[in-house]
Chains A and B, each alone.
Chain A
Amino acid sequence: MRHHAVTRAARWAVLTFLLAFPAFARAPEGRAAAPEGATSPNRLAREGVTVEFSAKPAGGDGDLREGDYADVSFRITDTSTGRPVRSLAPGAWMDIGQPVAARDKAPLDCRQKMGLYLSGRVGIRPMIDLNSYYVLALNRDSSISVVDPHVGMAGKTYLYAHIALPKPGADWAKTTDDKRLFVTTPRGGQVVVVDAESFKVAGKVDVGGLPVRIVMQRDGRYLWVGDDSAEAARSGVVVIDGAALSVAGRIPTGRGHHEITLSPDDRWAFVSNREEGTVSVIDVQRLAKVKDVKTGLQPISLAYSRLSQALYVADGETGEIAVIDGQRQEVVARIAAKPGLGPMRFTEDGRWGFVVNTRHDTVHVLDISNNRLAHTVPVGKRPFQLAVTGAFAYVRSLDSEKVSMIPLSELGRDQMPRVTDFGAGTETPGAAGPGIAVAAPMVPALGEAAVMVGNPADGNIYFYMEGMVAPMATFRSYGHRPAALEVVNRSLKETEPGVYRTTVRLPAAGTYDVGFVLNSPQLVHCFAADVKVNPALARTGPSLEIAYLVKDRRVPVGQPVTVGFKLIDPDTQQPRTGLGDVGVYYVSSMRHRAQAPVRERGDGVYEATISVPEAGAYYVYVAVPSAKIQLGDLTHLSLIAERTPGATRRR
């Protein structure tokens, strides 16, 4: 992951230089004047390669329309031989060049915009990044929020999509190609199938019982669902055929909650039975249980290390981690820790293991090479979750608003690893009360040394970049409470030799600039795509954006002050004019509240004159009922009211 981020950064650096180079600084070529070598607007032949751009409605033909999903692809071939050019890493962006509302204005320069995106400045992002990913939040209510983190980092949360589930979800699993997501709903006795390209519910599988944990095989053959039913005869796993999405088998394994993991070759499934103190071994080929291995009193978490070819079973009661040889399927070692063990996670390479100890407020670090405890690291009170990136193990505690970080580079030495932390919200996860989700509330971000942390108490998702002292961005989930997070990759992938493809949702109608860059051969080009207005589109986010035009936020008490602001269409980024019912309210911390009349100044600019009676902080809110914008939907403006010298003090 990290490596990927580094190479990408390097590539961008080269291209930024390329764009700054005089040869590329020539006047913008209008799209009418086709660049050299291009024989059609969607085809470019230069530097020995031919790039063919295509954007089609996902799964169909016809016009592209706003709000719909589009298949975007670039076919790259060798111009002289026609052979596909493989293993490239193209970058691409889509941005509105000419919004429908502004057809008569001069076109914006695509190349200049691409230079800005490539420079990687914070806050400057294209409308659609084709090298991006989405963050999915499994909410405590019956829904999933889909957030575009890159738009979010530009300062405004972009809720990309919202998926309604029939019942609250507990756990989820995705296919290796990130195209489908499977969510267990214990109260509905179902597994809900979500299309992770269109972000819509695509089906349901009735499994009955109490489905909680869900795991997908690497080869996609089966989905394994733990059925935590109280009846002993039923409690076990339900196996779902990954292609047919029908129940392929039910295997009772024993009482209690079930954790599930598979051997890396998908030959064996291991299912824990919390109230039996056992782990059941299932032959995936025959869908039959071959044995139960007694591991302790209360197996609470499982992890398989590819490096040591062994299964590790943490026991909450005995405080031991039992090591089961992957081939012999018997306990070959026991690592003694302390009672109170909880979830366990391994590093990507399987070299180190981490188990939280909820009772002792620690994390035990396992050296997998010799099955010994390498460290016991103090962390925040009642640790309950772990996430591991290439550089850190992140630990979330129920009674701490901080996330502890254990550096992997300091493991295995004599000294205790130096633990650092960052705050993810002001409320502790424990303040949210118990919920049903068992899926991870923390997840590493894709292609970046970063992690996403969901906070069910304050409803926010925090984006933390390694090396910073605090989260870099916060995403609101609009009243939902994220219990678990998942990341869905949407970057351009080579799906057949020389064809680089992805699926995106088109946020607005208009003519899009499609920026395309290639590092080797060095190529920068702008294609175009037309997106039609979609009359059937129902808006999901606020229909306006606001920018305050106030230079000095300190205002004098008792004197009239003019507050100007600009209202913008969030999709087209064009000013909204002619809104007749814009209201301005100002509220003081002393609960003074007043309304001021609003005047339109043209070009989306409105203003109101207010007069504040007391010194102190005031908050200005704007509402536009006709655009369904209520008080508090738009960002507010804070003002500090001060007494001017010589003004009479009222008693």
Chain B
Amino acid sequence: MALTSWRRTRCAVLVGAAVLLVPAVIAAAGLSEAERRGKRIYIEGRGRGPISAYLVGPRLSAPGSAFPCANCHLGEGPGVKEGGVQAADIRHATLTKAFEGVRPSGRAHPPYADGDLERAVAFGADPGGNALHEAHPRYAMSPDDLADLVAYLKIVGREPVPGVTEREVRVGVLLPDRGPLAEAGNAVTRLLRGYFDEVNARGGLFRRALTLVPVLFDPAREDSVTAAVREVVEEENLFCLLANVGVPPDHESLKALSAAQVPVIAPLQVALDGGYGADRYTFHVWASIRDQARVMVDFLTQAASRAPARLAVLHVSDASGEAAAAGAREQLAKHGRSVVAEVAFAPGRLSAPEIVSRLRDASAEAVLFFGSGTDVLAFLDETERQQWRPLVLAPAPMVGRSLLSLPAGVARSVYLASPIASPDPAARETAEFLRLAARSAGSGDHRSFQMLAFAGAKLLEEGLRRSGRDVSRQRVVDALGSLWRFPTGVTPPLTYSGNRRVGALGSQILAIDAEQGRLTVAAPWREPR
């Protein structure tokens, strides 16, 4: 009940979110107001007043936002080498260093003192009166903006990191405090605590312990998730979120997390999309709905025992349904196939008699169905009534377990796609998981939730190991974003890249064994072609 009403409101909220401009909030823990504003100038080239950059070589004026400091000096200030020009290391300790002779910047000058940074930014001169390299723009901005920028330049590369202290890294997990997923949330929390305890017992990571901080929300109230997220973003005492439970994949508050550059690792939800344009700060483990749809198409065109020639796509017109339909279209195009019909229906408004007649008239032999379990049951009922039995494929994460009770005759023509692969029984990590899961078992079976949380903990640990003592959110995101075939034992090896935020792209196809009331593997886990 709660879930259906939630979906309706969410739909309305989504429309609103599309026109809402999410403000670019920059996480700046413990910064003064001036430093905060200065950071925006440094990163984005935008201040309270207009900022312009004058390029000495080509004699051009451009808006400051086209040439922000961070483009060349980088987020932490060490400078990048590009085109034979080494952008200077502008960390304050370097600039204020006493130095006889020529510095690595190629110039000799006294250390920077009060007023020197302002002169360098505005007039392009170092404390020795030498002109900066001509590749360095000269900036015009109001005295207030300049003061803000200089305030930030004095701490660039040394600013405090949210949730990271001398001895601890604080990791949040968003959990429902009631409802059907509350117990799963508890199981996940127990597993993660056990995992963190073991990491800490081995000495922690770079002299810091991992601390798990549950952040609870009420799943029945739409604004409860929003409030929980706001707390994470504004209080800035959590480094990242791990294995969130029960947050809908298209919840608008997730945009605020992304805008604040909070890493979200292995959320217990299926992504809509994990490729180009996906949220940079969220790392999914299992294939997105879109990629599941692609494997379904591959199965129909290659692996199905009777490969049907005439395909139809039927999808709910929400974000999941649209993403799935887009994946199906993309993969059909790859196979050089087209559909005989594509029908969309509003959430909860499937008019089964009409749609079944329409698809039947189009002589569809197989239907790719992207809707809820209730929708697919209604659809199958109607096909039986009209004595028409096409092959039906649907993603398991969308339809849930509702199809297990189908009559045997109908069940034989239904297949489900599941992104979950069986754990590797030989892997050391799998043994580690089984040990932790046994210790943290509670009521009910939440093994698959715990598996995903375990994979997320492995990812976080690796990201932190690669980031070192000087950890930052950006470093962890960069480290995870370059993982290649990272083993977790309980999932296929995970790979991420600049345009890929889903670790394991594939799915398996399941058949329904109605007599036994269970699912059997019809086609093993594989990535889309």
Contact = CB atoms under 8 A, between A and B. Distances in A.
B353 interface: no
Interface in A569-619: none
Given A242-B101, A350-B468, A413-B428, A371 B82 contact: no
Interface string A519-561: 0000000000000000000000000000000000000000000
A472 interface: no
B465 A498 contact: no
A496 B133 CA distance: 11
Nearest to A266: B97
A412 B211 CA distance: 23
B202 A370 contact: yes
A393 to B, nearest CB: 18
Interface stretch (A111-119, A223-231, A305-313, A477-485): A305-313
Interface in A68-117: 83-84, 86-87
A495 B84 contact: yes
Specify which of B84, B93, B202, B203 lies most central, judged by the most chain A CB atoms within 10 Å of its CB.
Answer: B84
B100 A243 contact: yes
A370 B201 CA distance: 10
A306 B468 contact: yes
B277 interface: no
Given A307-B468, A369-B465, A497 B83 contact: yes
A307 B97 contact: no
B83 A494 contact: yes
Contacts of B103: 219
Interface string A353-397: 000000000000000111110000000000000000000000000
Interface string A317-331: 000000001000000
A66 to B, nearest CB: 30
A498 B206 contact: no
A86 B465 CA distance: 35
B205 A369 contact: yes
B428 A414 contact: yes
- Among B103, B207, B466, chain A packs the most CB atoms within 10 A around the CB of B207
* Main SS class of interface, A: loop
Contact of A86 (B84, B99, B104, B204): B84
B223 interface: no
A631 interface: no
A589 B469 CA distance: 65
B101 A370 contact: no
B469 A243 contact: no
Contact of B469 (A86, A307, A413): A307
A87 B91 CA distance: 25
B203 A244 contact: no
A221 interface: yes
Contact of A243 (B84, B98, B101, B464): B101
Contacts of B469: 307-310
A370 B204 contact: yes
B470 interface: yes
A265 B203 CA distance: 27
B135 interface: yes
B203 to A, nearest CB: 4
B98 A285 contact: yes
Interface residues of B, number: 30
Contacts of B98: 285
B102 interface: yes
A351 B206 CA distance: 10
Nearest to A500: B84
B302 interface: no
A471 to B, nearest CB: 30
B428 to A, nearest CB: 5
B101 A241 contact: yes
Instruction: Give the interface centre of A221, A243, A350 by most chain B CB atoms within 10 Å.
Output: A221
Contacts of A221: 99-101
Contacts of B203: 333, 370-372
Contact of A351 (B91, B104, B465): B465
Nearest to B464: A369
Given A333-B207, A351-B466, A369-B465, A497 B100 contact: no
B319 interface: no
A29 B57 CA distance: 38
Contacts of B102: 243
Interface string B190-215: 00000000000011111100000000
Contact of A498 (B83, B91, B93, B99): B83
Contacts of B135: 497
Q: Chain B CB within 10 Å — which of A241, A309, A350 has the most?
A: A309
B524 to A, nearest CB: 27
A614 B93 CA distance: 79
A628 interface: no
B85 interface: yes
Interface string B71-104: 0000000000011110000010110011111111
Given A351-B465, A499-B84, A369 B93 contact: no
Contacts of A351: 465-466
A310 B84 CA distance: 32
A620 to B, nearest CB: 54
Contact of A332 (B207, B464, B466): B207
A242 B202 CA distance: 43
A267 interface: yes
Contacts of B97: 266-267, 285
Contact of B83 (A84, A241, A309, A332): A84
A232 B204 CA distance: 41
A28 interface: no
A307 B475 CA distance: 11
A220 interface: yes
Contacts of B94: 265
Given A306-B468, A309-B470, A414-B428, A370 B205 contact: yes
Interface in A243-287: 243-244, 265-267, 285
Nearest to A87: B83
A305 B101 CA distance: 29
A285 B99 CA distance: 8
A309 B207 CA distance: 10
Interface in A478-526: 493-499
Given A86-B83, A221-B101, A308-B207, 12 more contacts: A87-B84, A221-B99, A241-B100, A243-B100, A265-B94, A307-B206, A308-B468, A309-B206, A350-B468, A370-B203, A371-B207, A494-B83
| Closest 7 pairs (CB-CB, A-B) | A86-B83, A243-B101, A494-B84, A307-B468, A370-B203, A309-B469, A369-B465
Interface of A: 83-84, 86-87, 176, 219-221, 241-244, 265-267, 285, 305-310, 325, 332-333, 349-351, 368-372, 413-414, 493-499
8 contacts: A265-B93, A265-B94, A266-B97, A308-B206, A333-B203, A333-B207, A369-B206, A494-B83
